[in-house]
Structure 1
Amino acid sequence: MSSFVCLSPDRIMLSFCSNRILRAPSSLSLGTFIEHLPTFSPSASTFRRINRKAFTTNASLSTPLIEALSPRQKEQIDLYVDTLLQWNQKMNLTAVTEKSEVMERHIDDSMAIIPPIQTYLSQYGTSFDDLKLVDVGSGAGLPGLVLAIACPGWKVTLMESMVKRCAFLEHTAGLIGLSNVRVIRGRAEDFGQDRSTREIFDVAVARAVAEMRVLAEYCLPLVRVGGLFVAAKGHDPALEVRRAEKAVSLMGASILQICSVESHGPYGQRTAIVVRKDNPTPRKYPRDPGIPARLPL
C-alpha cells in the first residue's frame, strides 16, 4: 500500500490549466475515477493532527492512480508523454528523456495532488466535480494537462508566459482531444490584477515554478475566497513553508497542511502544500511583473 502523511502546522512550527477551448471525447466519469483513488482522510474537526493514511506513486503504468483511469484516459496519458518527449528534442520542456521516468517523476506525481484537493474542498462543502483550476507556470503541462485528463469535469486553465511552451500546450491538448482546457499566455502578476482572472478559480496549482514566498503572490490572487492553492514540492519543504508564512497571510490565506506523498522513485518523497484562501487579496497584490521574484515578501 501507499502512504499519504499529513504533517500538522504544530509539528513543523507553522501551519504543512490562448483562450482557445479544445475538444475531447467522453471519458471515465469523475465520480467513478475518484471512487478508485487511494483515500486521504484528515480529521473532520481539525487539520492539526497527523494522519498516517497513505498512498504511493510508482514508476509504471500499473500504479493505482493510473489504473483508476479509463482505457481512453490511459491512451491520452500515453499520447501526452510521447508528444512531450518528441517536442523535448527541439525545446526545453523537461530534463527527463525516458518514458518510464516521465511516468514516475511527472505523471503519477501530478495525479498525486488530486486526493488532497478532494479532501480539503469537501471539508468546506465545495463540489469536486466541476472545479475551475488554474495551473500557474504550466510549462510542459505539469500538472495541469494531466489533471485535465484525469478529471474531465474540471475546467483547467494553463497559464504560461513563454510563446513556444504555449504552442506545445495548445498542440498537445488538441492532439489528445481535451474540451476542458484553455491556454492563456502571460505572467501571473498581470493575470492576478486582471478582473477576468482575479479571484475566479476554485484551485490554483504550481509545480517546479518558484519558492513558496513567490508562489503565494503568483497564485493566491487568482483564487476565490474559500478556494485552495496547492504547491507540489520536494521531500522537506518545512523551512521554505515557514519563510512563506508572511506572504501567505498578506494574500489573505493560511497554510493548512504539508501532505507528504511516499514515492518509490529514486528521488524519494514528494509533498503537496495545501493553502486555503480565507479573505480577499488586497488590491496592491500581486505587485508588478518581476518584483515578487526579486523581492519576495
Structure 2
Amino acid sequence: MLVSRCKFTGISAPFSVGAFVKHLAVPLSTRLHCALVNAEGGPQSRAVHCPKFQALKSHQKEQLHLYVDALLEWNQRMNLTAVREVGEVMERHVEDSLSIVPPIRDSYLSRCGASCGKISVVDVGSGAGLPGLVLAIAEPDWQVTLVESMRKRCVFLEHAVNLAGVSNVEVVNGRVEDIGNDSCFREHFDVAVARAVAEMRVLAEYCLPLVRVGGLFVAAKGHNPEDEVKNAETAIRSMGASLLQVCPVESHGPYGQRTAIICLKGHPTPRKYPRSPGTPAKEPL
C-alpha cells in the first residue's frame, strides 16, 4: 500500500506504519467480530439484518467484519468515530455507505456512456474509510483512492486495508487542496465521493478538480439538502460541472431518509485550484 504517492508542500516524508502500530499497542481482537456474527438481541443482532450488507457475498461480509473490528479497536485510542457499538457502526456507517452504490452505478451507466465495472473512485476526506473503503469491498472491480489529510488516520486505513485483504485500495496522505493541483491526481478519476466532510459548496471545490471530464461527483447528504444545493450552484458551475440529480437514497439506518447529490463534469476546471475562505469543520460522523 502507498500512503503518499506524490509529494505535496507541507507533507512530511513517508512514515513507518509498523512503528506507529507498535506505539498504539492495540492488538487485534476477535471479540467484536464474534459479537457481530453470533450475538442474539441488542444492536449486534440488528447489524446482520442490514439489507445491503446481507446482499453481499460471504467473503465481502467477512472483510467488513474485520474492518468494523479494527475501527472499534483503534477508536479506543484515536478519534475515528463517535459511534461505539457494533450495531451502530453497521447501521450508521456501513449500511449508509453501501446505500450510495446504486446511485453511482445507475448515474454512471446512464450518463457516462461506459460500463461501471472498472472505474476509478476517489473518496475525499475519507477519515475512517467512509464511504471509500466500504465501497471498495462492495465493488472489488473499482479502484478506490482514499484521500485523508491526517497521518494517524492514514495509518489506520492502511492497517484496515491490509487486515481485510482489500487489494483495490490506495491510501493517499495529503490535503485535497494540494492534491487537486497535482498532475498525478487532477482530473484523473471517474467518480469522486464525499460523506460527512463539508457543505456542498465547499465539496464542489474540493472534489470536482479531481474528476475527469465526463465523470461524476457524488455527495452523500441528509434528507433535506435543498438549501445546500442552491448555495452550491455557482461553485458547481465554476468547476465546470452541472447538477445532474438530487435523488433520495433508501436507508434502513437511524439517519432515515438520505440524499445523493450527483454532478456531471462537463469541461475542464480552471487551472488554479480554488480555496474557499472560512471552510467549515468536518461534519460529525
| TM-score, normalised by the number of residues in structure 1 | 0.77
What amino acid is aligned across from residue 69 of structure 2 in structure 1?
Answer: D
Aligned: 1:293 with 2:279: yes
Aligned: 1:186 with 2:174: yes
What amino acid is aligned across from residue 158 of structure 1 in structure 2?
Answer: L
Give the Cα–Cα distance (whole angstroms) in 1 for the partners of residues 51 and 117 of structure 2: 20
Aligned: 1:253 with 2:251: no
Give the Cα–Cα distance (whole angstroms) in 2 for the partners of residues 197 and 144 of structure 1: 16
Sequence identity (%)? 65
Deviation at 1:69, TM superposition (A): 1.2
Aligned: 1:66 with 2:62: no
Equivalence for 2:220: 232
Ranges in structure 1 where 5+ consecutive residues have no aligned partner: 1-17, 21-58
Contact 2:96 2:253 in 1 (8 A): no
Aligned partner (choices 120, 133, 142) of residue 154 of structure 1? 142
Equivalence for 1:88: 75
SS at match of 1:263: coil
Higher helix share: 2
Deviation at 1:19, TM superposition (A): 4.8
Aligned: 1:114 with 2:105: no
Equivalence for 1:101: 88
Aligned partner (choices 56, 62, 67) of residue 75 of structure 1? 62
Equivalence for 1:208: 196
Give the Cα–Cα distance (whole angstroms) in 1 for the partners of residues 208 and 94 of structure 2: 25
Deviation at 1:103, TM superposition (A): 0.7
Give the Cα–Cα distance (whole angstroms) in 2 for the partners of residues 154 and 105 of structure 1: 23
Query: Which whole-Å deviations, capped at 9, do the CAs of 1:236-293 have from their partners, x for residues lacking one?
Result: 1110111000000000001111111243433321111111101100112233xx6472
Aligned: 1:195 with 2:183: yes
Higher relative contact order (CA 8 A, sep 6+): 1
Give the Cα–Cα distance (whole angstroms) in 1 for the partners of residues 278 and 181 of structure 2: 14
What amino acid is aligned across from residue 177 of structure 1 in structure 2?
Answer: G
Give the Cα–Cα distance (whole angstroms) in 1 for the partners of residues 239 and 216 of structure 2: 12
Give the Cα–Cα distance (whole angstroms) in 2 for the partners of residues 275 and 67 of structure 1: 29
How many pairs align? 238
Give the Cα–Cα distance (whole angstroms) in 2 for the partners of residues 213 and 221 of structure 1: 13
Equivalence for 2:264: 276
Task: Evaluate the alpha carbon distance shift between residue 176 and residue 264 of structure 1 in structure 2; reply closer, same or farther with a 3 A threshold.
Answer: closer
Deviation at 1:223, TM superposition (A): 0.1
| TM-score, normalised by the number of residues in structure 2 | 0.80
SS at match of 2:47: coil
Contact 1:136 1:160 in 2 (8 A): yes
Contact 2:50 2:90 in 1 (8 A): no
After TM superposition, the structure 1 = structure 2 runs for residues 121-160 of structure 1, keeping only pairs within 5 Å, are: 121-123=108-110, 124-160=112-148
RMSD: 1.6
Deviation at 1:67, TM superposition (A): 2.1
Query: Which whole-Å deviations, capped at 9, do the CAs of 1:147-178 have from their partners, x for residues lacking one?
Result: 01001111100000001000000011011111
